[in-house]
Amino acid sequence: MLDITWIRQDPQALDRALADRGAAPAAQRLIDLDDERRAHIRQLQEAQNARNQASKQIGKAKASGDEAAAQNLIDEVAKLKSAIQEGEAQERSLEEALRTALAEIPNVPLPDVPVGPDEAANVELRLFGDPMLSDSAPEHFEIGEALGLMDFESAAKLSGSRFVVLKGQLARLERALGQFMLDLHTTEHGYTEVAPPILVRDDALFGTAQLPKFAEDSYATAAVDDDEASAARLWLIPTAEVPLTNLVRETILDEAELPLRFTALTPCFRSEAGSAGRDTRGMLRQHQFNKVELVSITSQQASLEEHERMTACAETVLKKLGLPYRVVVLSTGDMGFAARRTYDIEVWLPGQGAYREISSCSVCGDFQARRMNARYRAEGEKQPRFVHTLNGSGVAVGRALIAVMENYRNDDGSITVPDVLRRYMGGMERIGA
C-alpha cells in the first residue's frame, strides 16, 4: 500500500506511474480524502479542547456559588462529549475510506521497467539452451494420454474443467520435481523450508495485496464452529507467497536477522477469472496446481540485489533440468499489482513452439510491508523502517512437468527422466518404456 505522505509530496509521480500501468489518475482523489480526514481531525481536536476548558470552568463556577453557570457548563460538556463520540466514529469511517482507496492503488514501477500496455512491451534479457524446433512435436496432454498416465476425463467427473488426474510414473515424476526443487533451494540456496497453512484469513490476503481488488481470483470458504456468530471466512491460498510473506506481519525485526528466505511446496488454488478460452486443453492453466515458492524479507538497501539472486535461484532449477528458457522483464502494463519490477522465466515448450511462463520473480519494495505492518530496526536507528519483500516461483511444478514431458519425449512416446530426478524416481530412466 502506498504512503499518502509521498502522494501528497509528488502527486504527478503517482499519476504518471498509473498512466504507465494503463490506470486512471488517482492522486487528487486520494489527497481530497486525506484533506477531509485531516479537516475532521482538526474539528474533533477543537471540540475536545472546548470540552476540557468547559470542564475546568465547572469547578470554578461551583466554587463561586454560581450553580446556574455550573449547570450550563455541565450541559455544554455533555453535548460536546456526545459530539466527540460521533466525531470519533466519523474519523474511523474517514480513515477506513482512505485506507480502502489506497489499498486499490497498484505499486509504483521502478524507473528501469519498460513502459508499455501489455506483454508485447516485455524485454528479453537472456536465453539459455537451444529450443527444439518441430512442427509435429506433440503437446503434453497428447503425450500423457497416450501413456495412459494423464486423465482429464476422470478429473472432469470429479471436479469439472481445469483439473487433471495424474497416475503412476507421471504422478511420481511430478512429486520428484517438487522434492528436487525443495532440496535445491534449501541445501544450495539457503532458503528455510516451511510447511504453511493453505487456508488463510482475509488479513493475510490483504497483506500480500490479493484483497480487496482480486477477490474473484481466489476461492473463499467458511470455518464454522459451534458458535455460528464466530464463523470466519477463510481462503484457499493462490500461492504460498501469502502465508510465507505474512510470517513477518505485525513484527519488528532486527536488521541483523535479515534477509529471511523461505520456501514451501504447496498446492495452490486459483479461479482463473477472466481466462475463459485460454489454455483450455491440458494442465497449463489449472484451478489447482503445485508450486515451490520463494519469499525473501530484506532491508531496504538489499532488495534489488536480492531480486537478482532470487531469479538466479529459480533459473538454476531449469538449468539443472536441462530445459531451454528465457528471462524477460515485464512491462508496466503486464506486471502484477504489488510488484515494482518482475522478471518472468519462460520455459520452452516444443509442443506449442513457444516460451511459456514457469516463474515470476518480483520485488515489491515496502508495498506489502505497509499492508502487513512488517518492520525492522536498522542499526543505530530508533525509528523502525518497513521491510522490503520479494516473491518468486522456484518453480511451478506442473509446468515443469509439462516442460520435461515435451522436451524429453522420445520417438517411441516414452519420456526420458532427467539425470537430476532419477534418484527421486528410484533410479528410473524412462517413463513408458
Binding-site residues for L-serine:
239-241, 293, 393
359 close to 345: Cβ distance less than 8 angstroms: yes
Joined together, the cell numbers standing for residue 412 give 517411441
> What is the CA angle 256-260-262, rounded to 5?
165
| CA distance readout (Å), 279 to 5, 118, 216, 298, 408 | 43, 19, 19, 36, 22
Active site residues: 270, 285, 357, 360, 399
Dihedral, CA of residue 107, residue 111, residue 113 and residue 116, to nearest 10: 80
C-alpha count within 13 angstroms, C-beta hemisphere, residue 145: 14
The residue written with cell numbers 524477460 in the block is 328
CA distance linking residue 81 with residue 85, whole number of Å: 6
Looking up cell 467458511 gives 222
Cα separation, 91 vs 387, in Å, equals 29
Non-local (6+) Cβ contacts of 173 within 8 A are 401, 404, 415, 417, 421, 425, 431
Set of cell numbers at residue 421:
530426478
Q: Is the dihedral of CA 76, 82, 85, 87 positive or negative?
A: negative
> Is residue 418 reached through a cis peptide bond, with omega within 30 degrees of 0 on the bond before it?
no
Task: Please report, in angstroms and rounded to a whole number, the separation of the first and last CA atoms in the chain.
Answer: 53
Cα–Cα distance for residue pair 290/313, rounded to 1 Å: 18
Q: Are 2 and 105 in contact (CB under 8 A)?
A: yes
